[in-house]
Structure 1
Amino acid sequence: MRKFAIISLLVFSFFLAKAQKVPTLTAEVAEKLSKMPLNCIGQEFPNKTSHVANTAVDGRLLPSELHPAFYGCLDWHSSVHGHWMLVRLLKTVSGLKNKAEITALLDKTFTPEKMKAEAEYFTKYQVANTYERTYGWAWLLKLDQELYTWDNPDAKKWYAALQPLTKQILTLWKAYLPKQTYPNRTGVHPNTAFGLVFALDWAKTFKDVSFEKQINDKAKAFYLDNAATPAYLEPDGSDFFSPSLEIADLMRGVLPKAQFVNWLNKFYEERSLKRISDLPIISDINDYQGVHLVGLSFTRAWCMKGIAKELPKGHKLKLRFEQTADKFLANALPLVFAGNYGGDHWLASFAVYALEK
């Protein structure tokens, strides 16, 4: 009976997407979404630490002992982008009724002691320097950027506390990038293009010219000669990224506009464009891997919106990407609230980022 109800909801959402207006990030929607990270940031279990144990001692440590700041929301990266989302909502949404609750939670997380311990994790244990590379690293830099660009007393305090961890992540990424021989083209966490998009945003904001050059050079080495990308094979069964759209989203930030348009014209064939425009089919929204496909709608939407902005008026993909992105958003937002903890611990962040695009 439950399965039938879920399928009915999905079918309803499909047709609703065709009729309803594109959702926007109103104060009401923002408050509803904010409750998801508020509820899970302090929830330690279930938990997927991804910690490589070095001894019997650290093999028995609780998640909160390994990561005193970012232990909740099932995994480290979801906690990080849950914090980013709460910062973003405080910063941009007026009339947020639970502002005091969000502020109190962030005050509890962003302490110098906790962030020092988070930074030390990456050097304290063997192979920990690869931990969360590069998906979690990318969200950490996005969180850092969000705080830095907010002229607010609390934000300044939280930003100062975060710096030991930010500096550690930057040190690791700048050391890793020259050694990365091949890109990761997966549709899940290790996707190289997604990580570089956020890293490039950070480098431009902070005017870190050398890091920006590293990113640009590596992006060109990986993707500049790519043509006729086989996006007609997307998605894999648990993707929350479109590998091809993540590449295009990165290259729009790397190449001059005219060069980017020429590159994009060669990158996609019609059969691939058709494939990445189809709504993902989610057969079981309560499956912790299958629910990734809800996130795929959000990431496709934000990539398409960003790409469309760079295209000249009259380009064949400009309106097509804008309208397809709206379709994805209208379909996916109701599904954020339709599953279980497999989606609850992370999807709200993706919804906020996509809606703001």
Structure 2
Amino acid sequence: MLAMAAAATCAQAAAAAPAPEPLPVVVLDEARAGHFAGLALSCVGREYPNKISHRLEGAKDVAAPSKLYPAFYGCYDWHSSVHGHWLLARLVERFPQAPFAAPARAALARNLTSENIAGELAYLRRSSDETFERPYGLAWLLQLGSQLRGWDDPQARQWAAALEPLEREAAARLLRWLPKLTRPIRVGEHSQTAFAFGLALDWTRRSGDQALRDALVARSRFFYQGDRDCPLAYEPSGQDFLSPCLAEADLMRRVLAPDEYARWLREFLPQVPRRARADWLVPALVLDPEDGKLAHLDGLNLSRAWMLEGIAAGLPPRDRRIRALRAAAAVHRELGLIAVGDSHYAGAHWLGSFATYLMAPPDAAPAPAPAAATGAGRSD
């Protein structure tokens, strides 16, 4: 209840007149990283409860999650298990001497074996079903692969080598899908294309997969470059964890050069102010964190925060909109982090990954521009 009261206060503050001073930036220190790592460690080996995504062709296909997915059977569902492993790898790289590092390495070593990944690959190839975890889970798998590829660590290299066949299968599935996808998927949940395209594009930079990169860039331009006046006022829906408008803008900063992106954003999100205000985008509020669908809105606040930062990073450094984007990001960041706890498994099995992505963004994603460069001039 205290967290809900704090969240309500923060949301009310965002809707009020803008504060003259920006909110202090919360840094990722070892203690906070340990909290996030603890959430992942408590679920990557926890098989139940479990919501499997599994098509039965017959009675022989009935099996426990750990039999279906020998590496990624925990954390309630496959994609949450995948990004739970990403969280552990990301935080151990950042804090190699932290108390959580040894148990995190043990969990990664236990699950990311060649044998387990071969079992995962066999599951993907067992039938003609190409829709499994597409695109969200496949994109997170690529993000895990990108993290392991970029981590200069002997164990990480072993895990990356073990994961590579599954990584390549995920990339191949996306590459087969893209030419057949005639429309973008503009929802606020797992099937959204914009967020998944962004994760996959980041992976192509590290893996060197030019074919997938070219296909993603072409589809992104085809789907999104002509968009105008995104209806941000209609967001969020009641169980979103991704913003359709902001995810699209966060994707397109990966596709367009800064000056071109600034012009595109002016037409796509004309609502973004040119003064340092946060009240133009009000955070979401969760009243029942035990409801797994309603708790999605806690993740929305976190993903909005990193998307707003990403949009700001994609603009020329003197663009006047940067301060408003960062002001809104700070409010969403503060409210989103309040919700990252272990009281309710509905959120605990996945919110730590979203918080980690916000506070320790992948190296493949552009870093935010220095705050000192955001004040004067304009390019929009």
Task: Give the TM-score normalised by structure 1.
Answer: 0.93
- Residue 134 (structure 1) shift: 0.4
- Contact kept in structure 1, 2:278 and 2:328, CA below 8 Å: no
**1:81-96 pair list within 5 angstroms:** 81-96=83-98
Distance 1:148 1:321, change over 3 A: same
Q: Distance in 2 between matches of 1:31 and 1:193?
A: 30
For each residue in 1:275-318, what CA deviation from the matched residue of structure 2 results, as whole angstroms up to 9, or x when unmatched?
Answer: 87211021212211111101001111111111111222442320
The whole-number CA distance in structure 2 between the counterparts of 1:254 and 1:20 is 30
Structure richer in helix, relative to its length: 1
Residue type of the alignment partner of 2:228: A
Distance 1:253 1:118 in 2: 30
1:131 aligns with 132
Kindly provide the amino acid, as one letter, of the partner of residue 211 in structure 2: S
Rounded to whole Å, the distance in 1 between the matches of 2:4 and 2:258 is 43
| Closer/same/farther in 2, CA of residues 16 and 226 from structure 1, 3 Å limit | closer
Match of 2:303 in 1: 299
Q: CA deviation at 1:171?
A: 1.5
Q: Quick one: which of 15, 27, 41 aligns to 2:44?
A: 41
Return the match for 1:352 from 338, 343, 356.
356
Structure-2 residue corresponding to 1:281: 285
**2:3 touches 2:339 (CA, 8 Å); kept in 1?**
no
CA contact (8 A) 2:337 2:355 kept: yes
The one of 69, 72, 93 aligned to 2:71: 69
AA at the equivalent of 2:327: Q
Contact 1:24/1:355, CA 8 A, preserved across alignment: yes
User: How many residues are treated as equivalent by the alignment?
Assistant: 352
> Residues 153-177 of structure 1: CA distance to partner in whole angstroms, max 9, x if unpaired?
0001101111121121111111111
- Find the aligned partners of 2:236 and 2:279 in 1 and give their Cα distance: 9
d(CA) in 1 for partners of 2:152, 2:131: 33
Residue identity matched to 2:77: D
Cα distance change, pair 86–271 in 1 and its aligned pair in 2 (3 A):
closer
Is 1:211 the equivalent of 2:215? no
> In the TM superposition, what are the counterparts of 1:105-124 in structure 2 within 5 Å?
105-124=107-126
Contact in 1 for aligned 2:39/2:342 (Cα 8 Å): no
Bigger Cα displacement from structure 2, 18-27 vs 246-255: 18-27
Provide the rounded CA distance (Å) in 2 between the counterparts of 1:285 and 1:90: 28
* Native 8 Å contact 2:70 2:116 kept in 1: yes
What is the distance in 2 between the residues matched to 1:161 and 1:338?
31
Q: Does the 8 A contact of 1:41 with 1:70 survive in 2? A: yes
**How far does residue 84 in structure 1 lie from its aligned partner after superposition?**
0.3
Matched, 1:321 2:325: yes
CA distance, structure 2, for counterparts of residue 174 and residue 304 of structure 1: 28
User: Quick one: distance in 2 between partners of 1:339 and 1:243?
Assistant: 29
Tell me the secondary structure at the aligned position of residue 239 of structure 1: coil
Unaligned runs of 5+ in 1: none
Secondary structure (helix, strand or coil) at the match of 2:340 reads: helix
Instruction: Show the counterpart of 2:7.
Output: 10
Q: TM-score, normalised by structure 2?
A: 0.88
Seq. identity, %: 36
TM-fit CA distance, 1:22: 2.5
The residue aligned with 2:314 is 310
**Which stretch shows the higher mean deviation, 205-214 or 234-243?**
205-214
Q: Is 1:254 aligned to 2:251, yes or no?
A: no
Q: Report 1:148-159 matches (<5 A).
A: 148-159=149-160
Query: Structure 1 residues 326 and 10 mapped into 2: Cα distance closer, same or farther (>3 Å)?
Result: closer
2:365 alignment partner in structure 1: none
In 1, distance between residues paired with 2:118 and 2:154?
21
Structure 2 residue runs without a partner (length 5+): 362-380
Shift in alpha-carbon separation, 1:233–1:271, aligned structure 2, 3 A: farther
Give the secondary structure class of the aligned counterpart of 2:289: coil
Retained in 2: the 8 A contact 1:232–1:271?
A: no
Change over 3 Å in CA distance of 1:8–1:183 after alignment to 2:
same
Separation of aligned partners in 2, 1:198 and 1:276: 27
CA gap of 1:20–1:268, structure 2 versus 1, over 3 A, is: closer
Residues 6 and 285 in structure 1, CA contact (< 8 A), matched pair in contact too: no
Change in Cα spacing, 1:305 to 1:266, as seen in structure 2 (3 Å) is: same
The answer for the alignment partner of 1:235 in structure 2 is 236
Question: For the residues of structure 2 that align with 1:216 and 1:107, how far apart are their CA atoms?
Answer: 35
The alpha carbon displacement at 1:83 in A equals 0.1
